Amino acid sequence: MKNAISPIRKDNYPEWYLQVIKNAGLAENSPVRGCMVIKPWGYSIWENIQRILDRRFKDTGHENAYFPLLIPLSFLQKEAEHVEGFAKECAVVTHHRLEADGEGRLLPSGKLDEPLIVRPTSETIIGEAYSRWVQSYRDLPILINQWANVMRWEMRPRLFLRTSEFLWQEGHTAHASQDEAETETRKMLDIYEEFVRDYLAIPVVKGEKTPEERFPGAVNTYTVEAMMQDLKALQMGTSHFLGQNFSKSSGIRFKNMAGEDEYAWTTSWGVSTRLIGGMIMSHSDDDGLVLPPMIAPKQVVLLPLIRKSEERAKIMDYCRGIMQLLSEKTFGGEKVRVFIDDRDIGGGDRFWSNVKRGVPVRLEVGSREMDAGTITVGTRDKPAGQRTVEPKDKVIDEIADVLSNIHSSLFNRAKELREHNTHTISTVDELKKYFSASGKSGFAICYSDPYEHSASREAILKELKVSARCIPFGMQDEEGECIFTGKKVRTKVIYARAY
Amino acid sequence: MKNAISPIRKDNYPEWYLQVIKNAGLAENSPVRGCMVIKPWGYSIWENIQRILDRRFKDTGHENAYFPLLIPLSFLQKEAEHVEGFAKECAVVTHHRLEADGEGRLLPSGKLDEPLIVRPTSETIIGEAYSRWVQSYRDLPILINQWANVMRWEMRPRLFLRTSEFLWQEGHTAHASQDEAETETRKMLDIYEEFVRDYLAIPVVKGEKTPEERFPGAVNTYTVEAMMQDLKALQMGTSHFLGQNFSKSSGIRFKNMAGEDEYAWTTSWGVSTRLIGGMIMSHSDDDGLVLPPMIAPKQVVLLPLIRKSEERAKIMDYCRGIMQLLSEKTFGGEKVRVFIDDRDIGGGDRFWSNVKRGVPVRLEVGSREMDAGTITVGTRDKPAGQRTVEPKDKVIDEIADVLSNIHSSLFNRAKELREHNTHTISTVDELKKYFSASGKSGFAICYSDPYEHSASREAILKELKVSARCIPFGMQDEEGECIFTGKKVRTKVIYARAY
C-alpha cells in the first residue's frame, strides 16, 4: 500500500519531516529567511500548549508580564558570557525610519545612537526592571513569565526546530536565597517533564547540562531531552539557575532581614514552538502527522459518507446528533473537541486529509452505519486502513478511553524506542562503533567527568558529531571509570547526535 | 480630604494619567525609548481583553495564525500609500550579528542584502502568504487573526496610548466578493463596539473615517471613537475595507465559479493595548484607577482588619470562607474573581493600594463585622470614604448585582459626559469659539463634505488643533449646509481634539 507521505521515514527522514508539516498544513517557510508562517492548524496546537502551561505556571504562583522587544546593545554586554553566546545570531535595529534617496529608492534613515537588538532572550532587559522593583527582601520573590517572540538568526533554519524567529515563554524569577532559586529551577523542570509526558506523550530524560552546553551566563542549566524516531536527541525545554551572575550585572540588590545588602538569586526557564517539532518527530508516521489527543486542536472528526445527494440531510442530521453527544463528554478535564468534516471534496480526499493532519479519532458514518446503529472507527495510532465497526453508543460512551488509549500507545511506543536505543558504553572504541557511519545510534550512557575539560574528549565528540545531552538525574550513584580518561568518577553523561 | 493621586485631573490631566498608571502598577517606561514594560496587573487586564475578544473572533469563524515579525522592505513598498504612511516610523533591521572591532567594542556586522522592517502592521507579509494559499473561490474566505507585537517609532510616546512597541490583534480576511468583505468589515466593527461597551463600560460613536484619516492603503476605514474625561477623542479600534488594493499589490487572485481570474477583496481590523489607555482615561478618578468589573483582574478584594495578632487565625479563616462562597458565584458568565489581601503592610496602606489599583469591590472584615455577621462594603465607582455595612449573606448573594451596578454606573457616567459635551455646530465662528483657548471642548457635529478636499477647512482644523474623528453612522439623513463651504450636503462629521 502506498503511503500518504513521500518520502517515507526510512528513505529520507529530514525531507519526510518537512512533508509531514506541509501535508498537515502546520507551517511554512516565509520569504524572510529563517522565519516561518505558523498556519491555523499549527498555531492552534501552540494555543493548546500555551493554555495548559499557562495554567500550570499560574497554579505555581507565577504572573505574566511583557517586556520590550528591543534590547540596547549595552544591556546585552553587561554579562560577558551572555553576549558572547548570542553575538553571532543577533538581528540588529540600526535606524528608525525610511527615506527616499535621489532616485526615489527608500533607504534606512534616522540612525540610532545605540544599536538595538531584537531580543534573543530577555535576561538583561528584565534584569534592569527587577533592579528597580527590588529594594527589600519583602519585594522577593518575583515570579514572572512572558509569552513572546524571540529572534536568533539561523544560518540553517528548519521549521519549528530551528527558526530565526520563534515563539516561546520565558520565566524569569528572582529570590532572596540560593536555595529558593534552585528549588524554583527544579520545580519548573518538573513542570516541563510532566507537560511533555502527559500532553505531548513523549518520555524525557531529565538532567543537568554539561558546562559546554549551559545557557550563556548560567551557573547551571537543567534540561529535558527526548529521543526522536531517527534516534537523535531533541532538547525539549531548559531551566537555568543563574546564581547571582545576572543580578550582579543588572544590579538586582536588596536589603535582607538583617538590613544588609545582598544580590538576588535568579532563574530563567523556557519552552518554545520547538516542542511542536519534537511532537511531530516523536509520533508521526509515513501517512503524516500523528497528534497526541491531549494537544490536538480537534480530537475527533466525523466523516459523513454521502453517496447520494438525497441522503445528505439525513446523514448530516445524524452526524450532528453524534457530535452533540460527543462534545458533552470530557477528556483530560476538558470537553472533547469534535467536528464534522463535510467539505465539498471527494470522500477519499477527506479521509486522507484527516489522516495527514493527525486527528486522533476518525468516525465514518454512512447510510449503512446509520441503519445498523454503528460507526466505523479509526484511530491515528494504528495504520489508516485498520478500522473497526462499533456500536454507536459504545463509541460515544467510551470516547475518553479511546483517546486515553491513543495517548498511552504513543507514549509507550516512544518509550520503547528510547529504551531499545539507549546503551551503556564502556570504552571509546565502543563509543566510536556505536556512532558508526550508518548514522543510526541512540543515547550512549558513559562514565565521564563533564566538569573537567578534556581536549581529547572534545575531539572525539566532534569527530563523531555527537554532543553531551545531559548528566541524567538518578544515575549518579556508583563509581566507574571515565571512558575518556580512565579516571574514577561518579558521573554519567548521555552522548547523542542532536537537533 | 486629600486625594490618593497627585496631581488631580483638573490640575494636570496628562500627569494625572501617568500617576494613575504608576500608582496602580500597570506599566512603566523602559530604557528603550518609547517601549513600555507592562507589569503583571496591567498585563492581566490585557489577558482578559485577549480572552474575551479571542472567543468572539472564534465564534464568528476566525482562526489564529502567526506571521513573521520582520517584513522585507520591498514588500512594504508594494502598496504605495501604505509605505508612505509608515516610512517615518519604521524600526529597520540592517545587520544579523555583532562583531568586535579592534578595541573590543561590539558593532553591527553581517549586513543584510535587503533591510527588514519590524512589522508596523502585517498586510503586506500576510498578503504574500494569501497569494500562495488562494487559487480558487473554494479557498475563500480566509478568516485569520493574529495576536502580536508591532512597532511604530514614536517621537512623543505615552504609556498605552502611543508607544513605539505595542501589543495588538490584527485580523486579515480575504473574500470572493466586495459585498462579503464589506459585511466582514462592519461585523468586526460591531464586535469592537460591543466589547468596548459591554466589557470596558465605554460608549462609542461608530462611523467612517474621512479620507485623510484612513488607514494607508484602505478604501474605507471604520472606527469606534470614545470621549475621554478631558473631552478629547480616542480612537478605540478600527476596521478597514481594503477593496482590491492589497490583493492587487500582493497578487491574491482566484478563479471564480465561472472559471475567470479575479482579485480577492480584503479587510483588516485591529485593537491594541491602547484600549487600556482608553479605559484608564474614561473611568479613573483622583484616587487612581477605576476598573470596569468585566475586565478587572480581580473583581473583589477581601481586606481582613486584624487589630491584635491573636485575632489573625480566626479572621483569616472567616475571610477564606467568604472567599470560597464568592468564588462560586458567577458574573458575566465567569466565576467571580476574588482574593484576600493580607499583605504584611499597614491596614491603611492595604486599603489605599486596592483603591489605587481599581479593584471594583472592597470588603472589609474585622472582629466587629465577624461578630455582627456583616461586611463593610465599598465600591470603586463611589468615593473611597463612602462605605456601607451590609449583612454578610446579602453581600455574597448579591455580588453579581453589585458588580453589574458598578458597570452600569461607569458606563452611564461616561455616556452622560459625552452627551453633555457633544454639540451641533452650524458655523465656522461657532466652531472656533467651541474649540477656544480654554482647551475644554468636546465633540462638534457639523455638516461638512469630507470627501471633497478643502484647503480652508484643513487650515481651520489645523489652527484649532482639531481633527475629523468620523462620519458617524445614523446621522446622515437630512440635508444641511457645509459649515466650511456653504454647499448643501447630507454628511455630518464629528470634529474633536484627539489622542
DSSP string, A391-408: EHHHHHHTHHHHHHHHHH
Indicate which of A26, A74, A92 best probes the interface with B, i.e. most B CBs within 10 Å of its own CB.
A92
A445 within 8 A of A184, measured Cβ to Cβ: no
ipTM computed for the complex: 0.97
Quote the CA–CA distance of B336 and B294 in Å, as a whole number: 10
* Cross-chain CB nearest to A108 (options B36, B77, B115): B115
Segment 402-421 of chain B within 8 Å of chain A by CB: none
Residues in Cβ contact with B323 at an 8 Å cutoff, skipping those fewer than 6 apart: B302, B338, B339, B340
Segment 121-160 of chain A within 8 Å of chain B by CB: 125, 128-129, 138, 144, 148-149, 151, 153
Residues in Cβ contact with B130 at an 8 Å cutoff, skipping those fewer than 6 apart: B142, B172, B174, B247, B250, B252, B264, B266
Considering only CB atoms, which chain A residues are within 8 Å of B344?
Answer: 138
Indicate which of A79, A93, A147, A276 best probes the interface with B, i.e. most B CBs within 10 Å of its own CB.
A93
Q: Do A125 and B165 touch (CB under 8 A)?
A: no
Terminal CA-CA length for chain A: 31
Q: Give the H or E element holding residue B168.
A: strand B165-175
Residue A412 has what DSSP assignment? H
Q: Is B118 on the interface with A (CB under 8 A)?
A: yes
Among the residues of B298-421, which ranges form H helices? 312-327, 347-356, 367-372, 392-397, 399-420
Q: Which CA distances in Å does A471 have to A207, A451, A491?
A: 5, 10, 7
Dihedral in degrees, nearest 10, Cα atoms A119, A123, A129, A130:
170
Q: Do A69 and B149 touch (CB under 8 A)?
A: yes
Q: Is B160 left (phi over 0), alpha (psi -120 to 50) or beta?
A: left
| A220-227 β-sheet, strand order | A63-64, A142-151, A165-175, A265-272, A233-243, A220-227, A205-208, A467-472, A492-496, A443-447, A422-424
Q: What angle do CA A253, A255, A260 make, to 5 degrees?
A: 110
Place of cell 573537567: A452
Quote the CA–CA distance of B17 and B132 in Å, as a whole number: 46
Chain A: residue whose CA lies nearest to B93: A93
Indicate which of B41, B92, B273 best probes the interface with A, i.e. most A CBs within 10 Å of its own CB.
B92
Segment 338-377 of chain B within 8 Å of chain A by CB: 344
Quote the CA–CA distance of B380 and B283 in Å, as a whole number: 10
**Helix, strand, coil share (%) of chain A residues, nearest 5:** 35, 30, 35
Superfamily per CATH, domain B423-496: C-terminal domain of ProRS (3.30.110.30)
Q: Give the H or E element holding residue A131.
A: helix A123-133
* Cross-chain CB nearest to A65 (options B40, B93, B94): B40
Q: Do A63 and B46 touch (CB under 8 A)?
A: no
The tally of CA atoms less than 13 A away on the side-chain side of residue A164 is 25
Place of cell 454521502: A306
Quote the CA–CA distance of B268 and B170 in Å, as a whole number: 7
B223 within 8 A of B470, measured Cβ to Cβ: yes
A174 within 8 A of A247, measured Cβ to Cβ: yes
B93 within 8 A of A93, measured Cβ to Cβ: yes
Considering only CB atoms, which chain A residues are within 8 Å of B35?
Answer: 68-70
In chain B, CATH 3.30.930.10 sits at: 13-283
In B2-137 the beta strands, taken as DSSP E runs, fall at 27-29, 36-38, 63-64, 70-72, 92-100, 106-118
Convert the pLDDT of each residue in B51-102 to its tens digit: 999 999 999 999 999 999 999 999 999 888 888 899 999 999 999 999 999 8
A180 within 8 A of A265, measured Cβ to Cβ: yes
Chain B: residue whose CA lies nearest to A104: B77
Superfamily per CATH, domain B300-402: Anticodon-binding domain (3.40.50.800)
Q: Which CA distances in Å does B422 have to B426, B445, B497?
A: 13, 7, 12
Total CB pairs under 8 A between chain A and B: 185
Indicate which of A38, A64, A69, A116 best probes the interface with B, i.e. most B CBs within 10 Å of its own CB.
A69
B267 within 8 A of B241, measured Cβ to Cβ: yes
User: Per-10-residue mean pLDDT for chain A, 499 residues long?
Assistant: 91 97 98 95 98 98 98 91 91 96 91 97 97 97 98 95 98 98 98 98 98 95 98 98 97 97 98 98 98 98 94 96 98 97 90 98 96 97 96 98 98 98 95 81 95 93 95 91 94 96
A94–chain B nearest CA distance, Å: 6
Q: Give the H or E element holding residue A86.
A: helix A80-86
Amino acid at B89: E
Q: How far is CA A176 from the centre of its chain?
A: 31
A447–chain B nearest CA distance, Å: 38
Q: Do B40 and A30 touch (CB under 8 A)?
A: no
In chain B, CATH 3.40.50.800 sits at: 300-402
Q: What is the largest CA-CA distance in chain A?
A: 83
* Cross-chain CB nearest to A97 (options B46, B89, B165): B89
Instruction: Supply the pLDDT for residue B1.
Output: 62
In chain A, CATH 3.40.50.800 sits at: 298-404
A200–chain B nearest CA distance, Å: 21
Residue A144: name the closest of A262, A54, A49 by CA.
Answer: A54
* Cross-chain CB nearest to B108 (options A39, A94, A97): A94
Q: What is the largest CA-CA distance in chain B?
A: 83
Considering only CB atoms, which chain A residues are within 8 Å of B87?
Answer: 97-99, 106
Confidence band (pLDDT; 50, 70, 90) for B344? confident
Q: Give the H or E element holding residue B192.
A: helix B178-198
A207–chain B nearest CA distance, Å: 31
CATH topology of domain A298-404: Rossmann fold (3.40.50)
pLDDT exceeds 90 at position B441? no
Q: Is A73 on the interface with B (CB under 8 A)?
A: yes
* Cross-chain CB nearest to A38 (options B65, B83, B97): B65
A476 within 8 A of A491, measured Cβ to Cβ: yes
Quote the CA–CA distance of B488 and B474 in Å, as a whole number: 18
3-state class (DSSP) for residue B322: helix
Quote the CA–CA distance of A399 and A362 in Å, as a whole number: 11
* Cross-chain CB nearest to A165 (options B69, B90, B92): B69
Using only C-alpha atoms, chain B has a radius of gyration, in whole angstroms, of: 26
Quote the CA–CA distance of B357 and A446 in Å, as a whole number: 56
B378 within 8 A of B354, measured Cβ to Cβ: no
B437–chain A nearest CA distance, Å: 35
Q: Do A87 and B67 touch (CB under 8 A)?
A: no
Amino acid at A122: S
Considering only CB atoms, which chain B residues are within 8 Å of A69?
Answer: 35, 118, 149, 151, 165
Q: Do B108 and A125 touch (CB under 8 A)?
A: no
Residue B410: name the closest of B326, B294, B332 by CA.
Answer: B294
Considering only CB atoms, which chain B residues are within 8 Å of A136?
Answer: none
Q: Is B80 on the interface with A (CB under 8 A)?
A: no
Dihedral in degrees, nearest 10, Cα atoms A41, A47, A53, A56:
-130
Task: Tell me the β-bridge partners of A64.
Answer: A145
Where does residue A3 rank: exposed (0-12), middle (13-18), buried (19+ CB within 10 A)?
middle
Q: Is A64 on the interface with B (CB under 8 A)?
A: yes
Convert the pLDDT of each residue in B352-380 to its tens digit: 999 999 999 999 999 999 999 999 999 99
Q: Is A46 on the interface with B (CB under 8 A)?
A: yes
Residues in Cβ contact with A201 at an 8 Å cutoff, skipping those fewer than 6 apart: A282, A283, A292, A294, A407, A410, A411, A414
Mean predicted lDDT score pLDDT of chain B: 96
B94–chain A nearest CA distance, Å: 6
Segment 155-184 of chain B within 8 Å of chain A by CB: 165, 167
Backbone angles phi, psi at B252, to 5 degrees: -85, 95
B35–chain A nearest CA distance, Å: 6
A182: cell is 534552585
Per-residue pLDDT averaged across B218-229, rounded? 98
Architecture of domain B13-283: 2-Layer Sandwich (3.30)
Q: Do B108 and A97 touch (CB under 8 A)?
A: no
Residue A214: name the closest of A471, A7, A429, A485 by CA.
Answer: A471
Terminal CA-CA length for chain B: 31
* Cross-chain CB nearest to B87 (options A71, A98, A129): A98
Q: Is A68 on the interface with B (CB under 8 A)?
A: yes
* Cross-chain CB nearest to B97 (options A89, A125, A148): A89
B341 within 8 A of B350, measured Cβ to Cβ: yes
Chain A: residue whose CA lies nearest to B105: A77
Pairing of strands B142-151, B165-175: antiparallel
Convert the pLDDT of each residue in B158-183 to its tens digit: 999 999 999 999 999 999 999 999 99
Indicate which of B46, B81, B98, B111 best probes the interface with A, i.e. most A CBs within 10 Å of its own CB.
B98
Where does residue B49 rank: exposed (0-12), middle (13-18), buried (19+ CB within 10 A)?
buried
Considering only CB atoms, which chain A residues are within 8 Å of B83?
Answer: 98, 106
